[in-house]
Structures are given as C-alpha cells and as structure tokens.
Structure 1
Amino acid sequence: METLFWKKMASLLLPAFCLLSGAGCTAGWAVPDFGNVYHVSGVIDMPFAEIQEPFEAWYNLTGGKSRIQYYHGQVVTFQYGAERPFGALYKITPETTELELNVRKCFRISGRPGKRVYPQSIFPRLDAFKPVREESYKGQLCTVWQNVSYWGQKKNVYTLWVASSADGPVPVHYEMRGFNSLLGSHYDKYEIDYSNFTHSYPAGVLDLPSGMECEFPPGDGVEHRILANPMWDFVGRQADRGRQLFHHYRREYRKEYGSEKELERRAQTFIHNMRYVHSKNRANLPYKLALNHLADRTPEEMAVLRGRLQDQTPHNGQPFPLAPYAGIILPENLDWRLNGAVTPVKDQALCGSCWSFAAAGGLEGALFLKTGELTPLSQQALIDCSWGFGNHGCDGGLPWRAFKWVGKHGGIPSAEAYGPYRGQNGYCHYNSSELLANITGYVNVPAGDIVALRAAVFKNGPVAVSIDASAKSFVFYSNGIYYEPQCGNTSSSLNHAVLAVGYGVLQGDGYWLIKNSWSTYWGNDGYILMSTQDNNCGVATAATYPVLA
C-alpha cells in the first residue's frame, strides 16, 4: 500500500516540479494508460463545421463493449466487438413519420472481414505519442503528449493534455490540427474536452434496451457505418471514411475537378459539411438534413445563390386589399401543386438569380388562375432585361422590381419563346408580340402578418417571398418542418427569394410550403416546409404578388 501511495504521489508532484524548475523531465514518462474500463463525458468542437456536440461514453475493453451517446442521449450508439463473427454496431435514434412522433428505432450493422467491430475508445491510441511539455490547461496542471504524422502533403498534429490524480492519469483535452502543403492552409481542426472521468459505471449501461428489435439500415453503405460510430473518425487514425464517402458522392453527382488542389479542397469541404449534417441530425431537431449536390461548396460559394438584394427604397406596391378577404374561411392545408399552378423545380446554377425564379413563379401562378393553363415563363428574360429597375442579373435583384418591368413592358416572354435559362447574364432580346401575363401592379402583403399571407396564397396563388437562408442548416435541409433559431426575420436579414406555393399544419405545427430554385437534388425534391412560428426566417416579412390586367 505504501509503495502504491508514493507512486501516485510522484505522478502528482513530478509535473509540478518540472513546470516550476524548467527541468527536462519528459524522457522517462510512461505513456498514459486510461484503463480498460471507464466512463467519461465531454464536448466535441468542430470549428470548421460550426458544431459543438456533447457526448457521454462508457467503455469496457475486457467485456468487448462500448456505448457512446450524443446530445444527452438523443442518439445512442453501441459497439459490440464480442458479437460473432465480426462484431456489430448498433444505433438507437428517434424517428418521426407521418404516423409516429419521435419513436425510438434501433439499427444494426454487422462487422465483416477486414472491417471488424471493436469497442470504441474515446481516446486516440497513444503508442506514437511523445511527451513534449508541461503546462496548465484550464486550471489543471497537465503533461502534453503529441504525435506528428505525415500523410502525403498533409501534416497532422495530434495533441493530448493529461492531468494526474490519485487514481492515475486523467484526460483533459484532445486536439487535432491538420495542415496541407498543397493548399497552403489548415485543412482540418477539431477538439475534444473531457470531463467526469471515472473507472466505474452502473451495471447494465452497456446493454441494449430490453425488448428493442433492431433492423438493418437501408443501403448499409459507408455513410451508415459513419453514423453508427462517429467517434471513430475523431480518435482513430486509420483510412479516412469521410474520403470514402466523398468518392461515392463524386460518382453520384458526377463531380469533376480541374486540378489535384481543387480536388483536395473539395474533399475537405465535403468532410466538414458531412460532420455538420451528421451532428445536427443527432440533435433530434424537428427536421432532418442530408448531404446533397452542394456538399462540396464553401460558404462563400453558397452566398452566391442568395441573390436577394438589400433595399430600403419604397416598393410602391398596391395596398393589401382587405375587402376581398372579409369573412373568408381559409382551408387548414393548401398546396397549389395539386391544382396544377406550379411549374417544375429548376436550378438557378451559380447565379444569384433567385429573385427571377420567385417573380416568374408568382406570374405563372397568377396566369394559371386566370386562364386555367400553366405556362413556364422566362427567368432569363428578367435577368437580361430588368436592369433599368434596379436588378443586377446574376448579381442579385428583387421580385417586385421584376414585376415593375413586367408592368411597364406589357408582360413577360414564355420560356419557350425567349430561349433556355443560361445561369448567366445575357442580351435582352424579347419580341413584344409574344409577351404574356401583363399586370396592373403588385401587392405587398402586410409585413409579418401570417394570416394575411395565408389569405394571399389562397386567393391569388403562389406568392413571391423573401427569407434569411444564410444558416448552413438551410443548405442541407431534407425533410420535416424547418425551424432555425439563428434565422432573422427583419427586412435587413432577408437574402434569398423563393416562392410560397402553399401552407398547412403537420402534427400541430404550422408551415409554409416553399419552392426553392436549387434543383430537385436540394431539400424534398426542391421544396421545404418552413415553420410559421415567430415568422421564422422572415417568410411573411416581404411577400408580394402580381395583379394581372
């Protein structure tokens, strides 16, 4: 007992002595051993993905089991290495459908030859780490262990801060920094803060919930294995699974890049976006995200697609008419697609022309209500021809300015008459005899009035609206009712123009049915359900619709 006591005291006092004296004491230190059984909590910080994710982990190497849960138990993963023949991964996650709300589902993925499942440690393997210094980290005296690895043109620096206690080493902080000489910049960074480290936990915590049946996930591909054990990519240094998924992504979307440098940059952007999407989905939000054709785009490139200009000048729209809506009974759900008033979703490409799609969509709906025929109208004509009213083609514009151009010139050409959409500015060349949808003006819906906007959509067809689409969650929306607390709803926060083609209520929550112009690869076949709560993202802040002559 005395020998053990003095060993523990030495582990506590030696780092303090080295730090105070400046002595080179690192050479003889033993690599930290956190034991075969432990429980620990912490937070994963992914600054490039704009995510901080809490976790809690239980580990039993001897028993061949581990459990890691995220966002306080929203998603729970199990790694069973002892299960024959090659181990198994389990993931328990909430699932919401049209019939069920937040039902816990279990998915199982089997290990296989060359992909055997092992209990997942929450710490990196330390066999290649070396002690480099002693320092205080957040008030704790720590030994700093580091491993510098080179992978082609990448230099990865892994650093672990370890404190001492009477019970042995205590993990404090882990950090990875990656530098790519090809890109000339840091390509990756993530950190893990550890807390509440112990060598005990309640019995049964590593067992699957009794009575729960586990099914195989659809596809059982690379992404499913990442989702079933996300921690592996942060503390493991084997082949990068994110790279494998990027390979599948390139093949699915036929992505080609002009150089090795661009390929590397796109791969890293994809991996950061992948981490963001996966982490957000573990948070059990009322909507789900998914990797889409924009997953290799940088935030700067995404900003190009948000082409609604900021504007403080008077819109000079007609006042919202109250008399036609007096006593009107609005249906609880409305979808103008079902009535044939909405053309197929299009892709604005790398052009800030969202405003032209919103304006054309409003005109198409109004023309349908008047004639009973759905005619695709030309966004390209609005891009090319409405500069005199303050629009700037692919550099941005506003739907109401497009309506002013249509009103002055007696209509808008059809897409067939004007020619195909090009995703760039062009020469204005319409024939006056081919113009359709002449208007007498346009109406501004009272700002922030949810009921008035519902009434406008019901009586006038699809309405051009503006939103704050700057949140990364909007870029990767997949399904569910989108509510983003970071969204602004003031006129100064609006940066993207879209089309409200309906509204409704799903499981007690109100939503707008919004048509975007980022192709059918985005969202739910090009659409999104946006929450009406608190006028989230400003859907009702600057809505406008045309009045046909």
Structure 2
Amino acid sequence: MDIFKTLSILLLAGLAASLPAVSPPTFGSSYHARGNLKLPYAELDEPFEFYFDANNSRSHINFYHGLDHIYTRGDMYKYGTTLKISPETVDTSGKACFQINGTADAPVVTPQNALPDLTGFKFVGAVELNGQKVNKWVNITKVYSRSSTYTFYTTSSEPIVPVQYVMMGYDSLLGSHYDKYIVEYTFFDDHTPLKESDFAVPEGMKCRSFPGPGVEHHIVMNPLQEIINPEKGDRYEQLFDEYKNQFGKNYEDKKEHTQRLSHFRQNVRYIHSKNRQNLSYRLSINHLADQHKDELGMITGRLNSHEPNNGKPFDTSTLRLRDVPDTIDWRIAGAVTQVKDQAVCGSCWSFGSTGTIEGAYFLKYGKRVRLSQQNLVDCSWAYGNNGCDGGEEWRAYDWIMKNGGLQGEEEYGAYIGQNGKCHFNESLVVAKIKDYTNVTSGNQTELKIAIATKGPVAVGIDASHLSFAFYADGVYFEKDCGNTPDDLDHAVLAVGYGNYKGQDYWLVKNSWSTYWGNDGYVLMSLKDNNCGVATDATFVDLK
C-alpha cells in the first residue's frame, strides 16, 4: 500500500513539474459563502453559511440553516471575542449564548476563514469533478507516519470561485486512511459588499462562559479550525490527552494510540455536529469515544432467533391505562439496583433478564437484591444463549425455571465481563421464577400497564446508532432507529415512563456504566415506537 502511495505522490510531483508555474488563486478579503461540510467516517453532511470580513477581523458562521451561530469578532472589546448562539438543547423555545473573550496572551484577531491557506499548493491541471470542468490544486504534507493530501478545486473559467476542498489522510503505521473530510462550496460571492447586519450579534442576550476548564469548548466555539486551517495545530490531540486522564485510558503501543486518537477525533466531530442540530437530546464525550463503531457493536449482544418462546400472553382484561399513574420511576421506590458495566462482552441479555427479576423480587418481598448476571453468562448455554457472544432474555428465564432459580451476585460471584466456568449451586438460589409474560409486540399501552403494575420490564432496542453510544441527556429520538424484531440488538430495562416538556418517554436503564448517558439511564421517546422499546418486552412472576 505504501508503494502505491509513494508512486502517486511522485506522479503528482512529476505532473506538476511538467506544467507551467501557476500561482494559486486569490479571493476577496470579504465574501459570503454557502456549502456543506462532509465527514464520511462519521456519516455527516452539515450545511453551513459564512460571512467573512478580514479587513475588520470578523466572521459569522451558521450551521444547519441557522440553528447554530458562531461569531468571531476581533473588533469587539480590547482583545476581541467569540460568541456561540445555539438552541437550548432540550428546550426548542429558547436560545443559549456562550462567550469566550480574548486576552492579552490569546487575543481574538483572526476571524475563521472558509477557505484554506493555499501556500504550498501546486497546480495539477484541469480535471472533471461531478460533471464540471475545474482546476485542481494539491498540497501533500508528511509528519512522521502520517501523509495528508489536501486538494482544492476551483472553477476553470471566470469568475474563479471555490468548488471543493478535500483532505485525505493516510497513516503508514496503521496501513489505512485515518481521516477524510470534504468541504463543498455551493455559493461564493466576494464582490457584493457585506452588510453590518451580517455580523450583528442578537441584542438582549445574556451570554455566559463555558463551565469548567479544558480545550473542548474552544473546539466547540470554532469547529472548522482543524479542517480549514490545519497549520494552526490539532486541538483534538490536547483534548485526547484530557480524555485519557479523565477515563484512565492506557494503550499498548504507539500504533494503538494513533488508532484510538483517530477514532476519538471522528467521534468528537460527530458529537459536536449532532449537538448543533437542535435535537431533543444532547450527546457528550464518554468512555466509549475512542472506539470504532464496529467495536461498539460488541457491547450489545441481543440475538433474535425467531423461535417462539414459552411466555404467556399479557392478560390486561382487568387492567386499564386510566388506572395507572401518568408517570412512574421504580428507582425512587427502591426496585432498581445500581447500574453496572457489561464491558466488552455481549451479555446485555443477562442484565435485562436479571433486572426484571430484581424488580419482581422487590415488589413481592419489599427488599432489593442484586442477582448474578455471571450465573446466566456461564450456565445457560444449553438453552441457546452464547455467553459474551449474545443471547435472549426468555432463554435465561427458561434456564432459571428448569434449574430451580438464580443465585445472587454475592452467592455466585462478581460479574467478570467474560465467559466463565459454570459453578451454579441450586441450594444457594435467591430468586425462583414461576413463569414469564410477553407484552403484546408494539403495544405501548400494555407496556405502560406492565411497568406500572409488574415493575421494571426487560425490553429490546435498536442501539446500533452512534447517537445512542454518546447519549448524555434529553429525550432520545433517532429518526433512523428500527423497531422490528430484527432491529433489536440490545437488551435493557424499562424502569419507568413519563413526560418531559411535552415529550412522552420511557425511562431505561442501560448496562454501559454510569459514565454513559445520564448516570447510566436514557429517556427514550415513545413516538412511533422509536427504537422498538415496545416490540419485545417481557416480565416475570416469582414463585
């Protein structure tokens, strides 16, 4: 692979040398531009609009058609200022303003540009791009094992305007591409004078500084610096150092460190971009941020064999929705044990099944008990579960019923996050199951009744989206979530329901530690049975 990379570089250099010297294009010191920022590895396509005025040291960028605004004003205050105005994350009726003022040591003097510095770019020639004849400029830089190819395209005839800017990064240490982004320019005008209103900060807003130390808020305030101006340095590396310290991350060697930094950069870009979309929920950097999306699939583990189970149908003939409360949270009553971390083990099914049994135990005996997930991971293989390689809640119930019960965590031993040797002792069981019940698939009314009258309910969800991996707070609604049985790849525990600012939600306990979500919990939208919470829900009755 390196040979082909070297040959391509030499070919470009040779081609450039054979062409007459052509100076890079220049553009006006003020302009209005629109376009899209595309991050293929994060599956993002983010529209932007730019107003740039170098003569007065100011710029104004808005993302997602005006949802998120960033003003860089070197002409305000003694050392300049940067302001970010965004919708309040889970309150679409309000706006929040954040402000970082320049200092004597770090003045705000240079507004963010939408165009790269073309110093060092070489003219390659006229090519065709998306059916359009364009001029192509290339700059290749190499730092240690990294080779970064920057390509800038302009129209080939007057007026000369930018068309596209592409960065492709290759790391010979990894033997793969570590980064790619594309800036497409759909509109550019550096002739029409800009108006004062293009840079006017909305009046009457009370701005506040970002809470806490760290470099992340500087990235949030200017997310395009590393993309448009890589020569200014990589703040993501500093943020990665902070991340490693916060979560105690250590890597085997330089290769893994480089790989984790690459994943981290892409995930942070994704998190920040999603937060600019004015969603009903917010994402944040958590302990999973150095993982590739394929690795994140290893911390789910719910299977779907399409086999009929031995559960009973839910008889609601004597139960009515109007007889149950409008909101319920079984944590308050004491029916829910602490959040655990299933680690890199597809054992979510054991957490969902033990969670609903723990709830039933509390309702029957008034005591909270911590049951053993490891007992099920180690021992229910003969019933179709596969330990850390996945399983189904109902198969766990069948094993418990057949073997006389389930041991507690204290009796069986702590969860170890991997398959172990079964050492089940029936004389030490804590909970015994009489039978289990299937809530009618897709029936959200039944699920509410089940939670209200039977306690926490084991449910399957579609957790395959990056937005779920980095959920922090708010009511989670993912437009791409599936809700068919085949979409459900993760087992969790529905411990309540309610309404937040007009949005109905399920209160769901996850098993990815308290670093994830809101102390390990997520509010999941009821809208259209999003992510399939009501598709495959079960609860148990104890002996």
Q: Normalising by the residue count of structure 1, what TM-score does the alignment of the two structures yield?
A: 0.93
Task: Confirm whether residue 188 of structure 1 aligns to residue 182 of structure 2.
Answer: no
Alignment of 1:117-156 (within 5 A): 117=108, 118-156=110-148
Residue from 416, 439, 463 that aligns with 2:457: 463
Q: How does 1:130-529 map to 2 (within 5 A)?
A: 130-164=122-156, 166=158, 168-199=159-190, 200=192, 201-237=194-230, 238-326=232-320, 329-529=323-523
Q: Does the CA-based 8 Å contact 1:96-1:102 persist in structure 2?
A: no
- Following TM superposition, by how much is the alpha carbon of 1:436 offset from its aligned partner in structure 2, in angstroms? 1.9
Cα gap change, 1:532 to 1:446, in 2 (>3 Å): same
**Which region of structure 1 is more displaced relative to structure 2, 299-308 or 365-374?**
299-308
Q: CA deviation at 1:516?
A: 0.2
The Cα shift of 1:87 comes to 2.4
Secondary structure of 2:160's counterpart equals: strand
Would the aligned equivalents of 1:489 and 1:539 in 2 still touch at CA under 8 Å? yes
Mean Cα displacement is larger for which, 386-395 or 113-122?
A: 113-122
Name the CA shift for 1:379/1:24 in 2 (closer, same or farther; >3 Å).
closer
CA deviation digits over 1:184-240, x for unaligned, max 9? 111000001101111234431111112222211112531101111111121112210
Maintained 8 Å contact 1:306/1:495: yes
Pairing 1:74–2:88 present: no
Q: SS at 2:55's partner residue?
A: coil
Q: Percent identity at matched positions?
A: 47
Which whole-Å CA distance do the structure 2 matches of 1:157 and 1:366 have between them? 59
Q: What amino acid is aligned across from residue 131 of structure 1 in structure 2? A: F
Equivalent residue letter for 2:135: T
> Structure 2 CA distance, aligned partners of 1:77 and 1:90?
6
Structure 1 stretch displaced more, 385-394 or 513-522: 385-394
TM-superposed deviation, 1:141: 2.4
User: C-alpha displacement at 1:140, in angstroms?
Assistant: 3.0
Match of 2:41 in 1: 48
1:333-385: CA deviation from partner (whole Å, max 9, x where unpaired):
11000000000000001100000000000000000000000010000001111
- Mapped partners of 1:432, 1:216: distance in 2: 59
CA drift of 1:96 comes to 4.4
Q: Determine the C-alpha separation between the residues in 2 that align with 1:281 and 1:328.
A: 37
After TM superposition, the structure 1 stretch with the greater mean CA deviation from structure 2, 506-515 or 200-209, is 200-209
3-state SS of paired residue (2:359): helix
8 Å CA contact 1:503, 1:510 repeated in 2: yes
Structure 2 unaligned blocks of 5 or more: 1-14
1:139 offset after TM fit, Å? 3.5
Q: Within 2, Cα distance between the matches of 1:212 and 1:27?
A: 54
Aligned length: 525
Alpha-carbon shift at residue 84 of structure 1 (Å): 4.4
Matched, 1:36 2:29: yes
Give the Cα–Cα distance (whole angstroms) in 2 for the partners of residues 213 and 140 of structure 1.
47
SS in 1 for 2:351: helix
Q: CA deviation at 1:29?
A: 2.2
Measured in 2, the distance between the counterparts of 1:121 and 1:252 equals 33
Task: Kindly state the Cα deviation for residue 116 of structure 1 after the two structures are TM-superposed.
Answer: 3.5
For the residue of structure 2 that corresponds to 1:179, the secondary structure is strand
**Is 1:64 matched with 2:57?**
yes
Letter in 2 for 1:74: L
Contact kept? 1:109, 1:220, Cα under 8 Å: no
C-alpha spacing 1:184/1:103, structure 2 compared with 1 (3 Å) = same
List gaps (5 residues or longer) in structure 1. Answer: 1-21
Q: Distance in 2 between matches of 1:448 and 1:369?
A: 25
* Shift in CA distance, 327/145, structure 1 to aligned 2, threshold 3 Å: closer
Match for residue 10 of structure 1? none
User: TM-score, normalising length from structure 2?
Assistant: 0.94
SS in structure 1 at match of 2:289: coil
Corresponding residue of 2:94:
103
CA distance in 1, matches of 2:170, 2:433: 57
Deviation for aligned residue 1:114:
5.4
* Residue pair 2:493, 2:510 contacting (<8 A) in 1 also: yes
SS in 2 for 1:62: helix
Question: Cα deviation per residue 1:394-427 (whole Å; 9 max; x = unaligned)?
Answer: 1111111111111112211111111111001111
Contact 1:382 1:402 in 2 (8 A): yes
